[in-house]
Structures are given as C-alpha cells and as structure tokens.
Amino acid sequence: MKALHEMGVAELGRALQANQVSSTEITKHLLARVASHEQLGAWLCVDGDAALAQATAADAQRAQGVGGALLGVPLAHKDIFVTRELPTTAGSKMLAGYRSPFDATVVARLAQAGTVTLGKLNCDEFAMGSSNENSAYGAVRNPWDTARVPGGSSGGSAAAVAARLVPAATGTDTGGSIRQPASFSGVTGIKPTYGVCSRYGMIAFASSLDQAGPLARSAEDCALLLSAMSGFDERDATSAQRAPQDFHAQMLAARDTGEAARPLKGLRIGLPAEFFPAALAGDVDGAVRRALAELEKLGATLVDVSLPRTELSIPVYYIIAPAEASSNLSRFDGVRFGHRAAKYTDLLDMYKKTRAEGFGAEVKRRIMIGTYVLSHGYYDAYYLQAQKLRRMIADDFQRCFTQCDLIAGPVAPTVAWKLGDKGDDPVASYLADIFTLPASLAGLPGMSVPAGFGEAGMPVGLQLIGNYFQEGSLLHAAHAFQQATDWHTRAPAGY
C-alpha cells in the first residue's frame, strides 16, 4: 500500500472500506505532515483534537457497518467558508478571530458525508487576488518552488493538496480562483455551473460569480467531493433547483463508447483561436498542445471555434466583480461583528477608521472601483455596458457549443510567477485571468487538469469548459486523460 499522504480521496476511501487503515491513522499522519511544513503558509487554523475526534467517530461508524466513499477521509476548507467550530477570517484582519454561529452549507454537507476537517486554509483577502499574496496573514508559497506563488485566491487549498498535506480541499472560483491555483500547483480543480453548490455561508465577494468547488489529486476525487457538496439549498436564492447528482457515476458513464483504448470517441473538443494568442508563453502552449494530442489519441476530435469577446472579459469582470464587492463588503462596518477601530469621534469616524484598518490594499482598491462604477453618472456608462457584454460573452459560448461538446485551452498565459513580481502592478495580475474569466462570466463549469510542466519545472494545467450542468462530461474527459497520463500523480520534490 502507498504511503498515506500519497493516496487521494478515492484511494483512501477504498482503503478505509477494506479495513486496511483507519481514519484515526490517516488523520494523525496528515496532522504530523501539516506541522512539519508550516513554511508554506497554507494553513490559518488547525484543530488536531477536533479532527481526531471526528476520525474516531468515523471509525466507529465503519465498525458498525456504515459505508460511504468519503466517510473518514480528511480534508480542509478554504477560510472563506464559515465554520462553527473553527475561526473564519476570509484572510482579512477585518474578521480576525471571528466565530460563526453556523456552518456553511458546503461544510455541513461534507461533514454529513463523514469527512474529517483538519482546519482552515489561507486565501487572498475576501477571495480577491490571483496569487495568494493579498492575505493579511502572509503569502502562501508554491510547493514546487517556494519562491513562486501558488495562484489565488484558493492558493492555500492548492498548495496544501499539492504538498500532500491533505488529499483534498474546498475552494471558491469567482474569476478563476479554483482553476488558476490548480494549474499553478499541479492539482485538479473544478468550478461547477453557477448554482450547483450553495453559496450559503460562503463569505460573498461577487454574488453573481462566486461558486464553490473542490481541489484534489484527480478528476475521480473531484467527482466524489462535488457529489457531496452540491445540491439545492433553499437558503440560497441563487441555488439551482436540481435533484442531487452522482457526479462519480456520471463521470464513469458519460459517453461510454465501449472502446477501452478510445473512451472519448465521438467527443468534439473546441479550440478557441483566442485561447492561443501570440502572447501565450511557449512552454504553456507546448504542454497544452501535447495534452490535446493525447485527447485525440483517446478518440476526441478537435474543432476550431471562436470566442471573439475573450479580451473584453477582463474589463467586464473588473467592473462587475468590484461593483458587487463594494456592496457586499459594506456590511463590514464595525457595528455588528468583526474589527472595530479602538478610537473614533463619532459614527462616521468609526466607519472610516474601522474600514481603513481592517481592509487590505487590494480590497480597498476594488471597493473604490466598484463604488465608482455604480455611482450616479457612471452606472450606465460602465456597469450597465459591462452587463450587456457579459450576456454577449455567454452567447458566444452557446454558439461554440453548437459545434463542439467541450472547449479546451490553457488556464493561464504563463506558469506561476515569482512572489512579488506583480505586486506593484495589479493590472498585470488581472491580465493573467484572461482565459478563466469568460467561463465565470457565463456561469459555465470549468476544470483545470494537470497537463505537464513548463519553465523551471513548474506545472501547467489544461482547462476544460463544458455547457451548463455538463459536469459529468467534463469529469469523464478529465478522468480519461488521467487514466492515460500520470501528470496528476507527480508530487513536488520533498513532499
């Protein structure tokens, strides 16, 4: 049997089911690894006693004959999900020490499936960032090269999974914050269709874009986790009213061709010309094209398509998302919860000082942008026009899906950059989201699948995008690719 930290969610579930190992053994092993790799900065809170108590309870259930693919499997949560038993900060001083009176729906559902929570993971403040350098509690480092970023905003989740500190973690994706860190850190991540996972208890950044999803070793692991996380929630007005889905079964059943060697026979994969511009780094382009050739070997047909408004997705996103953020973050005013300035003269002064002290530079920047584009005289010129373009971007995808079943391309224009490289130029960081933003604006499901390595041995991810509620097809294609390749099994040196 493999070392416990080398096993993914599905493998651990099978080992637990076969009584080859106990949840308590796995949990102790992983807690020891977490303690020995603090230099990554991936964790904001670890509660070993609570985790071991959950593991003991899971072992007792299995002893009584209770099953379940996730029962007793450890994981961790991005610190954007509120938790009753653990502090929730959203990576911000504004919420330092905050304890929620309830668990987020995603957290509660994974707990109901029997998972063991090791702790909470670092993230960009209020999920605003592409590098995980914006956390008030320090940057997260990429385990493949600790001088580089792990991606963001779910950088703590991606780094912890890549370093084999935990087999899986939750993340959130507003403009690429699951897919981009998954690509930079060499793990698998999926953002489902908007509305598939409840946003209840997920601290809001941009409400029409935020979506929860898992980061794990493989597509199979992601399918198991997404099955537990998803489903209609009456407490979330944006939750899709759909029956519970077994994404693992969909992954195995989708497009069953009967050919073991060509499991993707008949699958049409669209390649948007706009996803392969001249500015795309050569190492990323090479890795992605080799991955596409592998998909062809598996039976898929590559089709040229076009998403003509890809470049417009950056200004559209960076108008809509800050506008929603300026509204959502108005609740952090020092009155009801969170940080409050120690000294102030009146209520307005308290608001000003509290928000000046509690928010970091990137959050302030986005609040200012959002407030500006929503202000009188600018709403029609900026926000309304951005919403119209958002609809056009979604329509472009629908035209593509008349010619193909899935869309493929790179996740980011380059591999992970060095810590501090884009700190003085936020626009450069924003431009790195160009390939992930279109699917987010359209509310479509997307994945990042490890597809090789580029400059300095850094991971490169292949992005797959599906039509609405086609997570099963996405996972099937990713699973077939991972059955034929071993990129997702590679671990950084020393981990």
Query: 139: number of CA atoms within 13 Å, CB side?
Result: 18
User: Of the listed 23, 78, 154, 313, which one is catalytic?
Assistant: 78
Question: Does the annotation mark 177 as catalytic?
Answer: yes
- Output the CA–CA distances (angstroms, integers) from residue 132 to 166, 383, 421, in the order listed: 19, 27, 13
Distance CA 51, CA 37 (A): 18
The token duo for 96 is 């330092």
User: Of the listed 23, 154, 177, 183, which one is catalytic?
Assistant: 177
Query: 39: number of CA atoms within 13 Å, CB side?
Result: 11
Q: Which of 473, 495, 107 is nearest to 270 (CA)?
A: 473
Residue 72 near residue 22, CB atoms below 8 Å: yes
Q: Which residue has the tokens 């269709």?
A: 193
The token duo for 85 is 């038993």
Taking the CB of residue 253, how many other CB atoms lie within 10 A of it?
Answer: 11
Residue 419 near residue 141, CB atoms below 8 Å: yes
User: Of the listed 22, 23, 131, 153, which one is catalytic?
Assistant: 153
Q: Where are the beta strands (DSSP E) in 387-445?
A: 406-410
Question: Does the annotation mark 78 as catalytic?
Answer: yes
**How many Å is the Cα radius of gyration of the chain?**
21
- Output the CA–CA distances (angstroms, integers) from residue 285 to 63, 118, 493, in the order listed: 50, 37, 24
- Counted residue by residue, the chain has a size of 495
Distance CA 196, CA 444 (A): 10
Residue 58 near residue 114, CB atoms below 8 Å: yes
Cβ burial, residue 3 (10 Å; 0-12/13-18/19+): exposed
Q: Which residue has the tokens 């973050």?
A: 329
Question: Does the annotation mark 185 as catalytic?
Answer: no
Q: Annotated active-site positions, please?
A: 78, 153, 177
